Structure 1
Amino acid sequence: MQLESQSKQTEFHILFIGNSLTYSNNLPQLVKKQAKKHGITVKTKMVAKPNYAISDHWEEGEVQKLITSKNYDFVIIQQGPSSLQNGKELLVDYGKKYSVLCKNSNAKLAYFMVWPPINHPERFKGVINNHSYAAKINNAILCPVGAIWKKHFNATNNYDYYGADGFHPSKKGSEAAAKVIVEYLFPK
């Protein structure tokens, strides 16, 4: 799919690749609803499995077929939280593979930055730094959801973006994620 000027194009196709942090509360559907508020039509496909990293999806091979179909304007990759060195390496190394494939397929790669578990707030720094670095190195869009969550927690001392298990998002957390994703994919 050839990318048109975003000022003219009002319909976009997004491929979401991730795990339970993406499929909890059906994040792609929430992104559709948020985009619609801005006059943008979004069609989505989600490939998300429990406890999957972007490397697991790559090794299975389905995502390569989807990306090379040239049916997507954006490919959003998510793994989480990736606050440690091995997570950073996955974000960078596999991000490069996704980036090359996206470039060859006229799609733009985006990283969906997630968050650490509620009981490990000290890991926010690693999550933010590693996602930011990987997006920069791979010339990708950064959707800094984790950073926005951290600002919310710091400002309000309210952790309502987390679900009952202290890791997966509440509906409010997924709605906040959708808002960030739309703002960073379609800046005004």
Structure 2
Amino acid sequence: MKYAKQEGVNLSYQMVTFPNYALEDHWNDGEIQKLIAHTTFDFIILQQGPSSQPDGREMLINYGNKLDSISQSNQSKLCYFMVWPSLKNYHTFDGVIKNHQDAAAINNAILLPVGQVWKAHFYSTKNFQYYGPDGFHPSLEGSKTAAKVIVNSLLLHH
């Protein structure tokens, strides 16, 4: 929110989050459909774990499509928050990037390429400071970078 304010953007948002939930879990729970159908948002941002494997890819694409169908009724634009793998699974980074890119392209959604920016930073600096102590969740620096990528990407589409 701090970065958005610096860019002159006023944010109003609602989050639906639960630990270890995939898009399929949100769909099966049913609350997300009600929220999207009865509230007008400029953007609906989907975030799922790294999704480098075929089942994660399928969920990104299929449940993104289902949620997009609902969001279109309120003229909301679907977005994919591209995440990153854990340091332990760094070798899956290209799969994470590809599956998020494909899901966004297939569903005509906006890609918020945080994972891609993180990987480019790691490649050029060999510095992994965007990861927090657990090697998966972001550090403060990683969170700030994610916020900048998201806000800048959304500003391009608003």
Q: Could you state the TM-score of these two structures normalised by the residue count of structure 2?
A: 0.96
- 1:45-98: per-residue Cα shift (whole Å, max 9, x none)? 111111110111111111111111133111100001000111110000001001
* Equivalences for residues 74-93 of structure 1 within 5 A: 74-93=43-62
The equivalent residue for 1:176 is: 145
What SS does structure 1 have at the residue aligned with 2:41? Answer: coil
After the TM superposition, which parts of structure 1 deviate over 4 Å for at least 4 consecutive aligned residues? Answer: none
**Distance across 2 between alignment mates of 1:84 and 1:73:** 30
Which has more strand, going by share of residues?
1
* Equivalences for residues 30-179 of structure 1 within 5 A: 32-179=1-148
**Distance across 1 between alignment mates of 2:89 and 2:22:** 20
Q: Is the 8 A contact 1:112 1:144 kept in 2?
A: yes
What SS does structure 2 have at the residue aligned with 1:119? Answer: helix
What SS does structure 2 have at the residue aligned with 1:51? Answer: coil
What is the percentage of aligned positions where both structures have the same residue? 53
**Distance across 2 between alignment mates of 1:36 and 1:187:** 16
What SS does structure 2 have at the residue aligned with 1:131? Answer: helix
What SS does structure 2 have at the residue aligned with 1:142? Answer: strand
Gaps (5+ residues) in structure 1?
A: 1-31
Number of residues paired by the alignment? 157
Per-residue deviation, 1:120: 1.9
Superposition RMSD in Å: 1.1
The equivalent residue for 1:26 is: none
Structure 2: which amino acid aligns with 1:186? L
- 1:22-43: per-residue Cα shift (whole Å, max 9, x none)? xxxxxxxxxx221111111111
